[in-house]
Structure 1
Amino acid sequence: MVIRLSDNDNLRSMANLLRSGATLTSLSCPVCASPLFKMKSGELWCAHCQKRVVVVRENGEITEALAAPLLNALESTLITKIGELNEKIRDEKEI
């Protein structure tokens, strides 16, 4: 889900990014064409879409760019499911 900001909120968000040390880049968001900011962490951020943006130069890099977020989501899901299974095993009376 993408949360779009009003023009005033968008400008305020951009100003806050600059105040926090982010730098304005010459790149634009592929979704909304808003300028992208480079965060101190090195990530690119769209202030309008409120999302991280990944720039991919070659087809092989697509897999690498998608791997980290996918692995994080998988790890979160696995931890949740293991916790649920642990509770079921703990509550089981017949073993």
Structure 2
Amino acid sequence: MEKDVVKKIAQLVRAGATLTSYTCPVCGTVLVRLKTGELYCANCERTVVLVKTEEEAQQAVEVVQLREVRRIVFDKILQLGREIEKLSAPEMIEHLRSMSLLLDIYERLSRIHTEASKQQAKSF
């Protein structure tokens, strides 16, 4: 294991993460469990989901994809928010309608993501 990776792992542990007996399926680095409960590979710099069945693998993929869609929606809400002060009243109203719709979608995605994450956590 490279010194930089060991340093990253040490930083994560000091921040409250715990070492696990699991290793990354991609690079073989020891995984740490973050405070959020997620397993993380300091070498690959990404979360890792352990699964036992194909069904669990599909659920894990869906959780990751939902998280990405939710991030995209959030970024769009922020973009619209930055543009508001430059707009005329009619344009602002249209932007606010779009923001309202996106906020509703974001809230629904958040609820779905939370439920899916809970179900995933129960299986371990």
* Fold equivalence (TM over 0.5): yes
Distance 1:23 1:37 in 2: 5
Match of 1:16 among 3, 11, 15: 11
**CA RMSD between the two structures:** 2.7
Corresponding residue for residue 48 of structure 2: 53
Identity %: 36
Aligned to 1:75: 70
User: How far has the Cα of 1:73 moved from its partner?
Assistant: 2.1
Kindly state the Cα deviation for residue 78 of structure 1 after the two structures are TM-superposed: 5.1
Change (3 A) 1:54 1:15: same
**Distance apart, 1:69 and its partner CA:** 1.8
d(CA) in 1 for partners of 2:27, 2:14: 23
- Check 1:38–1:77 CA distance in 2 against 1; reply closer, same or farther (3 A cut): closer
Q: Deviations over 1:13-33 (max 9, x none)?
A: 011011111111111000000
TM-score calculated relative to the size of structure 1 = 0.71
TM-score by length of 2: 0.56
Structure with the bigger percentage of helix = 2
Looking at structure 1, the residues matched to 36 and 72 of structure 2 have their Cα atoms a distance apart, in angstroms, of 26
Q: Using CA pairs below 8 Å that are at least 6 residues apart, which structure has the higher relative contact order? A: 1
| Partner residue, 1:42 | 37
Q: How far does residue 68 in structure 1 lie from its aligned partner after superposition?
A: 1.7
